[in-house]
Amino acid sequence: MNAFKLSWKNITHRPWRSGLAILLMASGLSIVIILILTQGQIDEKFEKNLSDIDLVVGAKGSPLQLVLSSVYHIDNPTGNIKEKQTTLLKRHPFIEKSIPICLGDNYKSFRIVGSTHEYLELYDAKVKDGNLWEKPMEIVVGANVFEKFPGKLKVGSCIAGGHGIGGEALEEHNHSHDDAPYKVVGVLESTGTVIDNLLICEYTSSWIVHAGHGGGASLDLKMELDPPTPDSTMVDSNSVDSIPAEPIEEVIEEHNHDVHNHDEHNHDDHGHDHGHHHHHAIECGTMNTDSILATIPEDKKEITAVLVKYKNQRGQLTIPNMINSNSSMMAANPSIERDRMLKLVDSGIQTANLMGIFVLVISAISVFIALFSSLKDRGYEIALTRVLGARRPKVFLMIVGEGLILSVLGYILALIISHVGMWIVSGILESNYHYSFNAWDFSIFEVYLFGVALIIGLISALIPATKAYLTDISTTLSK
């Protein structure tokens, strides 16, 4: 029966009191761990996803919203701009890259982004399987999206986009472009960036999708009648004539979305019992995209935003100003917007951090109380161990040992709580925003935190241990 074992037995002998101390310690530590991990991963994600983008140009509105929607794919777009407005960006001598972004459709809540190959180059995305698209209506699939729908997004599959952008796809009204299916031509390798959660195609695809049926025309008409206000979200994401997204099999088979049979629409019931549906799905990849594109008038060619990379420093000085004052478009600096947002996030994290520290202080007190009060009952035991030959330092170490054991157990529990907690939160974030944390990433701070836990255990054990050290055997035994 060595001192450590005795400390351990004394802890397990008082399971409730020890358990409370451990639980409090674990709560405090896990709050801090979760915050550290979250902050680290948020910062990293926002940094990575920004890539080399110097400027985002889009419809006027909130610059933060523009950046969030077009770079991070979180928020709704601010609206659309005409492609012809952006031609000056393509030709400008200070601009190295201008990459169009077209948003507005989704595949089962994952965003379909229309862009160019350059967009993939921004994130060093490599094709794992298949190829990049060669023409409109061919699509490549991000790694996470591919995994989310096993077997459904293989190269060669046909998929139909739903109308509306990703985050809102779970809402009831979602419009399916089942008559203009995409053909999956490639699957991307995981990049750890936002690309993993996207499906990407040539930006002209969305014009074809919307021109291919009556819905597109009405959509454009609506936009003209009702131009986007600065803060309006994507005009059509909640449009009344959209219908819920349906699983692809049903969509293709039912195929009831046609401008001519709008009256037959059953908005309430999309079950399998639609006996009267036509089966005339267009085979994907067979569409003559060039001829469709040729029919689209210039002012119907709209995009959501342009991601700009400057050629040199002078771009920074002239281009944002040029766009903001001389055009109906808006230029937003993504680094500034990101910092603005991280600042908001950080102040929240700071507050939560204070809370964590507060809980840690409480836990230190609870370890102290657990030891101190148990020592009160154990005064005689301490004297007894001295009588049996234990010297003062040994008695001191035994109590300190109890404090340390409590804090180590608290730390282990905290690791479990925080990482499982992260895993749960990550799942929620994933389903709501397609933004996920890696719950099993460990930070070096967790190692430091182990030190903190030990110090807490040590400090809170110090007074009880000193008390045990100073126990007067004779008086205690005479009581």
Partner 1 sequence: MIKVDNISFAYKGSDAMSFPSFALEQGEHALVLGQSGCGKTSLLHLMAGLIKPNEGSVVIDGTNVSKISGSEMDRFRGGNIGIIFQKPHFVKAIRVLENVMLAQNLGGKKKNKAKAISILTKLGLEHKINARVNNLSEGEKQRVSIARALVNSPKLILADEPTSALDDENCKAVLNLLKEVSKESNSTLLIVTHDNRLKDQFDKKIELS
Query: Binding residues for partner 1, per CB under 8 A?
Result: 1-2, 6, 9-10, 12-14, 380-381, 384-394, 473-474, 477-478
Q: Where are the alpha helices (DSSP H) in 51-186?
A: 63-67, 87-91, 117-122, 143-148
Q: Shortest CA distance to 136 belongs to which of 307, 301, 256?
A: 301
**Torsion over CA: 91, 93, 97, 99 (sign):** negative
**Contact in structure between 163 and 155 (CB atoms under 8 Å):** no
Residue 7 C-beta: closest distance to partner 1, Å: 9
393 vs 451, which CB is nearer to partner 1? Answer: 393
266 vs 475, which CB is nearer to partner 1? Answer: 475
Residue 26 C-beta: closest distance to partner 1, Å: 23
Q: For 240-356, where are the E strands, in sequence order? A: 302-303, 305-310, 329-332
288 vs 478, which CB is nearer to partner 1? Answer: 478
Sequence-distant (6+) residues with CB within 8 A of 13 are: none
282 vs 390, which CB is nearer to partner 1? Answer: 390
**Contact in structure between 25 and 406 (CB atoms under 8 Å):** yes
Residue 405 C-beta: closest distance to partner 1, Å: 13
Residue 12 C-beta: closest distance to partner 1, Å: 7
177 vs 386, which CB is nearer to partner 1? Answer: 386
412 vs 477, which CB is nearer to partner 1? Answer: 477
Q: Shortest CA distance to 232 belongs to which of 77, 360, 375?
A: 77
Q: Shortest CA distance to 80 belongs to which of 50, 102, 106, 56?
A: 102
User: Quick one: angle between helices 15-50 and 444-469, nearest 10?
Assistant: 160
Q: Where are the alpha helices (DSSP H) in 160-247?
A: 205-211, 214-225
14 vs 135, which CB is nearer to partner 1? Answer: 14
Instruction: Give the span between the Cα atoms of 238 and 212, in whole angstroms.
Output: 20
116 vs 385, which CB is nearer to partner 1? Answer: 385
User: Quick one: angle between helices 3-13 and 392-433, nearest 10?
Assistant: 60
Quote the Cα angle for 247-251-254, to 5°.
Answer: 135
Instruction: Give the span between the Cα atoms of 234 and 410, in whole angstroms.
Output: 49
92 vs 394, which CB is nearer to partner 1? Answer: 394
Instruction: Give the span between the Cα atoms of 149 and 138, in whole angstroms.
Output: 18
- Position of tokens 């950080």? 346
80 vs 385, which CB is nearer to partner 1? Answer: 385
307 vs 382, which CB is nearer to partner 1? Answer: 382
Residue 13 C-beta: closest distance to partner 1, Å: 3
Instruction: Give the span between the Cα atoms of 139 and 119, in whole angstroms.
Output: 13
Residue 10 C-beta: closest distance to partner 1, Å: 5
17 vs 163, which CB is nearer to partner 1? Answer: 17
Residue 6 C-beta: closest distance to partner 1, Å: 7
Determine the 3-state secondary structure of 189 from DSSP. Answer: coil
Residue 389 C-beta: closest distance to partner 1, Å: 2
Residue 380 C-beta: closest distance to partner 1, Å: 5
DSSP 194: G
Q: Give the number of other CB atoms < 10 A from CB of residue 316.
A: 14
Burial grade of 280 (CB within 10 A; 0-12, 13-18, 19 or more): exposed
Residue 20 C-beta: closest distance to partner 1, Å: 17
Sequence-distant (6+) residues with CB within 8 A of 241 are: 175, 215, 218, 262
Residue 392 C-beta: closest distance to partner 1, Å: 7
Q: Shortest CA distance to 120 belongs to which of 175, 43, 41, 187?
A: 187
Residue 372 C-beta: closest distance to partner 1, Å: 17
Instruction: Give the span between the Cα atoms of 328 and 229, in whole angstroms.
Output: 12
